[in-house]
A and B are shown apart, each in its own frame.
Chain A
Amino acid sequence: MITVLCILIGLIFAGATFCLLRRSLMRVLIGILLLGHGVNLLLLASSDPISRNVAILGEDGLPTAAGSADPLPQALILTAIVIGFGLSVFTLVLARSAYMRGGSDDMRELEREEEV
């Protein structure tokens, strides 16, 4: 499973990088959203151990099965998801406002406007 997970991480990062490198504003936004997923998955892949058993303790307060999932990366990812959501919303709104004001969706044109 871990190998598949790693390949998936590679795919997401490749896609995100390609989108970020576009000059089209829309693609860059997509790239930003995609990159968030890649990082979350990377965090998950750092779990030790990677397991299918949930990180929830039994009635007696002890781990139910040996090798339940690593809770720490999950806590980090949960934080990352919510922050990522907040920031991508902000980015989307900001990008739209920049586009509507500047009238261009070309990243390079937008830069130039900034300088003017």
Chain B
Amino acid sequence: MKSHLLLVASRFLSWPFFILSIWILYRGHNLPGGGFIGGLVGASGFLFYDLSGYGRPKQGFFSLKPFSFLTAGLGTAVLSGLPGLLAGKGFMTAFWLPGFKLPLLGSVHLGTPLVFDIGVYLTVIGFILLLADTLAEEEKL
């Protein structure tokens, strides 16, 4: 079942979903949201392509492979723990940049926990994508 309509729609919908997921990821530290939910929403950006029946694009961001996300996610998470280790304070001790103000975002705090949450986010996306890919390929068997 291939649908041109869905293919077109997915091109338009994927990016908004993806940006939404990043927004959820970012605000998770202060409001409901975070890496898990963000990851689940972000993965749906990819899944729209699967629904169209034509598969994901051959190039561009949405052609990334699930394993890239998994490794990037786990790697980012581990990296976020290293500053604490290097500072001799124990793995995963949090470090923060000084806060600053931005238009729209208000006061911004950047630190290793956010980096870690990005790792979680990427891993969850990788997981869902791998799952979807596996099942889709199985269908073809």
Contact = CB atoms under 8 A, between A and B. Distances in A.
Q: Is A in direct contact with B (CB under 8 Å) within the complex? A: yes
Interface of A: 54, 56, 78, 82, 86, 89, 93
B32 A56 contact: yes
A78 B36 contact: yes
Contact of B127 (A56, A78, A86, A93): A86
A89 B36 contact: no
Contact of B124 (A54, A82, A89, A93): A82
B131 A89 contact: yes
A82 B36 contact: yes
Contact of B31 (A56, A78, A82, A86): A56
Contacts of B36: 78, 82
Contacts, number: 10
Contacts of B131: 89
Interface of B: 30-32, 36, 124, 127, 131, 134
Contacts of A54: 32
A87 B67 CA distance: 18
A56 B124 contact: no
Contacts of A82: 36, 124
A54 B127 CA distance: 29
A98 to B, nearest CB: 15
Nearest to B134: A93
Contacts of A89: 131
A75 to B, nearest CB: 10
Contacts of A86: 127
**Nearest 5 pairs of A and B residues by beta carbon:** A82-B36, A89-B131, A78-B36, A86-B127, A56-B31
A81 to B, nearest CB: 8
Nearest to B36: A82
B99 to A, nearest CB: 12
A60 B30 CA distance: 12
10 contacts: A54-B32, A56-B30, A56-B31, A56-B32, A78-B36, A82-B36, A82-B124, A86-B127, A89-B131, A93-B134
